[in-house]
Structure 1
């Protein structure tokens, strides 16, 4: 049994309260990983082209208020 299969089996065996707690923890875990990745990409300049394009469109009046 692979590690992933072991995790899946363990999660499937959780009672409803444990599953709810695990789900909340996992959602927070994923959000933190996402935030770290976005910060790393921004620091590495990987988002610069997107920011430049958005600013150019804003300056050209191609945007609308939200």
Structure 2
């Protein structure tokens, strides 16, 4: 397995188009990691308190529709 320094050195040798393609791949990989972490946290109940607070705020009409916020109406 290559070290991080070896990988960085190899990336330095790539043409820009390949670096950009790698960046897209890396972002997709990070997104997958994030999704798995969120699913694990949800399954473990780590988000239950936040979900309950959000539901309570919605029930109390303490939130606004996202379109309303984005359009500042």
Same fold (TM over 0.5): yes
Distance 1:7 1:25 in 2: 15
- In the alignment, what sits opposite 1:49? 49
* CA deviation map 1:12-37 (0-9, x unaligned): 21111211221111111111111111
Q: Normalising by structure 2, what TM-score? A: 0.79
- In the alignment, what sits opposite 1:27? 27
Structure 1's unaligned 5+ residue stretches are none
Backbone CA RMSD of aligned residues = 1.5
Between Structure 1 and Structure 2, how many residues are aligned? Answer: 65
Q: Which portions of structure 1, spanning 4 or more consecutive aligned residues, are displaced by more than 2 angstroms?
A: none
Q: Normalising by structure 1, what TM-score? A: 0.86
Structure 2's unaligned 5+ residue stretches are 67-73
- In the alignment, what sits opposite 2:15? 15
